[in-house]
């Protein structure tokens, strides 16, 4: 059995709004996230009620005089934090840590015995100076902590994956 925590920095879009003027290439997110964003491909004014979004990539949704096209949410230059909590998971150990960034970045790794505020301790710093855009794998990431948190700040597109498994 394995347990994974994954995250990537994403662009944040404004939430769709009723009776609003939208221009070509504006992007919005539905009020109830479906994992996609929608790009305005015919400019106009949105309807009084939110449309039923067609969440198949490149399919369109009519919204009064606006036409929206379903798109993947893009990577964004935002800070990212990923947390792995193995408490109550049958003694799984933290085993691998994968990090990726398109710019020179410093990933900070914190450990905690219970994951509560004030208990996190810096355990490692991982630099991505030369392998930008490629995954950097750290095997055997064993430590005494049952919770692991990885944080990266800065204007890059980042990915983090933490894997725990049976020893």
Distance CA 39, CA 11 (A): 13
Please state, for a pLDDT cut of 70, what percent of the chain lies above it: 83
pLDDT tens per residue across span 85-97 = 777 666 676 777 8
Reported as type and span, the H/E element at residue 115 is: none
Instruction: Identify the structural domains of the chain with CATH numbers, from first to last.
Output: 11-72 (no CATH), 77-165 (2.60.120.260)
pLDDT tens per residue across span 140-165 = 555 667 788 888 877 677 888 888 77
Distance CA 117, CA 148 (A): 13
At residue 1 the predicted structure's pLDDT band, cuts being 50, 70 and 90, is low
């Amino acid at each position: 059995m394995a347990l994974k925590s994954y995250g990537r920095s994403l662009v944040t879009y404004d939430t769709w709004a009723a009776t609003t003027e939208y221009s070509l290439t504006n992007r919005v997110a539905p009020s109830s996230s479906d994992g996609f964003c929608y790009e305005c491909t015919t400019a106009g004014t949105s309807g009084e009620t939110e449309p039923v979004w067609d969440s198949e990539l490149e399919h369109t949704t009519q919204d009064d005089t606006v036409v929206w096209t379903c798109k993947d949410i893009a990577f964004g230059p935002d800070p990212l934090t990923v947390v792995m909590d193995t408490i109550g998971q049958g003694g799984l150990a933290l085993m691998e840590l994968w990090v990726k960034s398109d710019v020179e970045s410093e990933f900070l790794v914190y450990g905690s015995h219970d994951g509560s505020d004030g208990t996190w301790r810096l355990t490692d710093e991982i630099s991505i100076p030369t392998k930008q855009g490629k995954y950097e794998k750290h095997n055997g990431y064993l430590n005494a902590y049952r919770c692991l948190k990885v944080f990266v700040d800065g204007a890059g597109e980042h990915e983090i994956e933490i894997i725990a498994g049976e020893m």
